[in-house]
Amino acid sequence: MRFFVDTADVGEIRELAATGLLDGVTTNPSLVMKSGGKMADVIAEICSLVDGPVSAEVTATDHEGMLKEAHYLREIADNVTIKVPLTVDGLKTCKLLSNEGTMVNVTLCFSPAQALLAAKAGASFISPFVGRLDDIGHEGMDLIAEIIEIYDNYDFETDVLVASIRHTTHVVQAAKMGADVATIPPKILWQLVKHPLTDKGLDAFLADWAKTGQSIL
Ligand code: E4P
């Protein structure tokens, strides 16, 4: 499973990219707002740090407007992926952009029917928002299972990108289901490495090592 980070914070992206574990980045208008930067500058800087897909979301809501913004954004770098919302205009834009060879991430997906349409529109990625479904009392991860089943039935090439992740269990569940990608907030990405027994075990090894008086080099 590929790991994308869900942020527009360049500092955090730089730190995560240095681990070698980062496969891409997703942003959205709210994340760009939080970064305090100008969309095109932020995307350009992120693309200089990460080789994998970097999602930049259009903000127009009509097809023509989305297309114009997408054509502008995709010129920023080769790894820009255009993010469009799951609306009729978004799907129309997705179809056209994918025919042009541009990677498209269809976002704000909350149902299997929507995911089916995104695949038919040639999306490179579908972004089902599991956390926001959990928030309203649904089981967000059930949607992931349904989409994977549907895509497998027809060998759709659209990657399932699990989004709106709220905790490490979402990541593990996504991996068990065979989701292609998880886009993960930085804090949760760092939490994935943590286990108290790892810390405890390492402390004990180092204490015993100190008793030997040796050094490896
Ligand atoms: C996906 O690409 C979105 O940016 C993101 O996962 C939304 O998550 P949220 O529900 O935490 O805002």
Domains of the chain: 2-212 (3.20.20.70)
Over residues 149-191, the pLDDT tens digits come to 999 999 999 999 999 999 999 999 999 999 999 999 999 999 9
Atom 1 in ligand 1: which residue has the minimum CA distance? 163
pLDDT in tens, 11-33: 999 999 999 999 999 999 999 99
Give the model's pLDDT for residue 86. 98
What's this model's pTM, rounded to 2 decimal places?
A: 0.96
DSSP the chain: -EEEEE---HHHHHHHHTTT---EEE--HHHHHHHTS-HHHHHHHHHHH-SS-EEEE----SHHHHHHHHHHHTTS-TTEEEEEESSHHHHHHHHHHHHTT--EEEEEE-SHHHHHHHHHTT-SEEEEBHHHHHHTTS-HHHHHHHHHHHHHHHT---EEEEBS--SHHHHHHHHHHT-SEEEE-HHHHHHTT--HHHHHHHHHHHHHHHHHT----
Using one digit for the tens of pLDDT, what is the confidence trace for 115-137? 999 999 999 999 999 999 999 99
Tell me, yes or no, if 83 is annotated catalytic.
yes
CA of 132 to the centre of ligand 1 (A): 8
